[in-house]
Structure 1
Amino acid sequence: MITFEHVSKTYGNGVKGLDQVDLTIGDGEFVAVIGLSGAGKSTFLRAINRLHDITEGDIRINGVSVTGAGKKQLRVIRRHIGMISQTFNLVKRSTVQKNVLSGRLGYYPTWKSILGIFSKEDYRLASEALEKVGLLDKLHSRSDELSGGQQQRVSIARTLVQQADIILADEPVASLDPVTTRKILEDLRQINRNMNKTVIINIHSVELAKEFAGRILGFQGGRVIFDGTPEELTAGELKRIYGRDIGKEKEGAGDEA
């Protein structure tokens, strides 16, 4: 369970990234976050694993404060939070296997992390994770030999090896074609449903958000101005979030978010 209590984030230039956010995300939810560029979506996502420090309020995961956590405690908290980004964040010259195994680094002391020492169990987990995303045959391939969609599936496998309870996905399909986009979102939905992982995704496409998520958060100016089901996200609510009639999107296309 993730809880935001009166959370605000003000950047050095005075811009409000988050403004008095109060909400709870339960275990096993699939939440899509939508809104215009600069609305606070990425700040919201990155505040959960404290990649962005907040300036007011408290964020807790299962009752433990992320905001007040010391360095060692934060390291333990981050073990259970996987991050998927638009740019994949893979070591391109390393093999798929090594990139997936990097999800285990948070469980080892620094010296083992530097030397890349992993257990037989870690290697087994890596193979199982790649099988789940349909890439076991790429185990020993270099990551830069893969397509964009395959690289994103490697980053998903990395979160599975990490054994993260929470998966944060920051525009993970923004640079992918429509067919690959649907494959990535299907993978995330299956992980959510079959493994009860909490998935929170920032996404351009309103139509895809409505199709895949069970809950949608609409941000504007750092505030959550919509929090409801896909069915409750009416044309009127979309106009309120985006400030205009966005119309019906073509499948796979996105609004500026």
Structure 2
Amino acid sequence: MIIFEKVSKVYPNGVVGLQDIHLTIEDGEFVSIIGLSGAGKSTLLRAINRLVPITDGDIQINGTSITKANKKELRMIRRQLGLISQSFNLVKRSTVQKNVLSGRLGYYPTWKSILGLFTPEDYQHTKEALETVGLSDKLQTRSDELSGGQQQRVSIARALVQQAPIILADEPVASLDPITTQKVMEDLKKINQTMAKTVIVNLHSVPLARKFSTRVIALKAGQVVFDGTPEALTDEQLTQIYGKAIFEEKAGEIHEIERDRSL
């Protein structure tokens, strides 16, 4: 469970990232966060693992405050949080296996991490994670030889090897084509349903949020302006969130995705 209590974030330049956020995200939910660029989506997501320190309030992960955690406590809490980003964050010259194994680094002291002293169980978990995302045949392939979609699936496998019960995905499909986008979202949904992991994902696509989420949270100017099921997210509410012209452009993504899937 993740709890936001009166959370606000003001950046040093005076920009307000979040305003008085009250949220509770339950175990096993698939939550999509939507809104315009600059609405606070990435700030909200990255506040969960304290990559963005908040200005006021408190964030609790499974009953423990990450806001107040010391260095040792923060390391322990972050084991529970797998991060998937738009830029993949892979060591491009390293093999897929080594990149996925890096998900275990939080469980070892620094000297073991430097020497790469992993257990046989770690290697087995790596194989299983790659099977889950359909990349079993890429184990020894250099990461820079993969397509963008394959690299993103490697980052998903890394989060699985980390064995984090919560997966944070910050615009994971923003740089992918529509067909690959569908595959990555399907992987995340499968992980959510079959492994009971909580998935929180930032999305620019309203159709994807409606299709894959159990819950949608919309932000506008750092405030929550919608929190509910995809079915409850009406076109009228989307117009309020995005503005009429922008929402019409977003709605067009439905046709783009459906057309590409039919090829």
Using the size of structure 1 for normalisation, the TM-score is 0.97
**Equivalence map 1:165-204=2 (5 Å):** 165-204=165-204
**Equivalence map 1:94-243=2 (5 Å):** 94-243=94-243
Whichever residue aligns with residue 73 of structure 1, its letter is E
SS at match of 1:149: helix
Q: 2:81, 2:167 within 8 Å by CA — same for their partners in 1? A: yes
Q: CA 1:252/1:189 → structure 2, altered by over 3 Å: closer, same or farther?
A: farther
SS at match of 1:67: coil
Matched positions, count: 254
Q: 1:181, 1:252 within 8 Å by CA — same for their partners in 2? A: no
Match in the other structure for 1:77: 77
1:30-60 deviations in Å (ceiling 9; x for gaps): 0000001110000000000000000100000
SS at match of 1:218: strand
**Inter-partner Cα distance in structure 1 for 2:142 and 2:9:** 39
CA RMSD of aligned residues (A): 1.1
User: How far apart are residue 168 of structure 1 and its match?
Assistant: 0.4
Q: CA 1:235/1:83 → structure 2, altered by over 3 Å: closer, same or farther?
A: same
**Inter-partner Cα distance in structure 1 for 2:122 and 2:110:** 17
Whichever residue aligns with residue 159 of structure 1, its letter is A
User: Does 2:253 align with 1:250?
Assistant: yes
Q: CA 1:88/1:122 → structure 2, altered by over 3 Å: closer, same or farther?
A: same
**Inter-partner Cα distance in structure 1 for 2:203 and 2:116:** 34
**Inter-partner Cα distance in structure 2 for 1:252 and 1:131:** 31
**Inter-partner Cα distance in structure 1 for 2:224 and 2:111:** 42
SS at match of 1:231: helix
Q: 1:31, 1:201 within 8 Å by CA — same for their partners in 2? A: yes
Using the size of structure 2 for normalisation, the TM-score is 0.95
* Structure 1 spans left out of the alignment, 5+ residues: none
**Greater helix fraction, Structure 1 or Structure 2:** 2
Whichever residue aligns with residue 249 of structure 1, its letter is G
Moved over 2 A (4+): 247-254
Q: 2:205, 2:253 within 8 Å by CA — same for their partners in 1? A: no
Q: 1:35, 1:220 within 8 Å by CA — same for their partners in 2? A: yes
SS at match of 1:144: helix
SS at match of 1:219: strand
User: How far apart are residue 252 of structure 1 and its match?
Assistant: 7.5
**Inter-partner Cα distance in structure 1 for 2:34 and 2:215:** 11
**Inter-partner Cα distance in structure 2 for 1:180 and 1:14:** 38
Percent pairwise identity: 68
SS at match of 2:144: helix
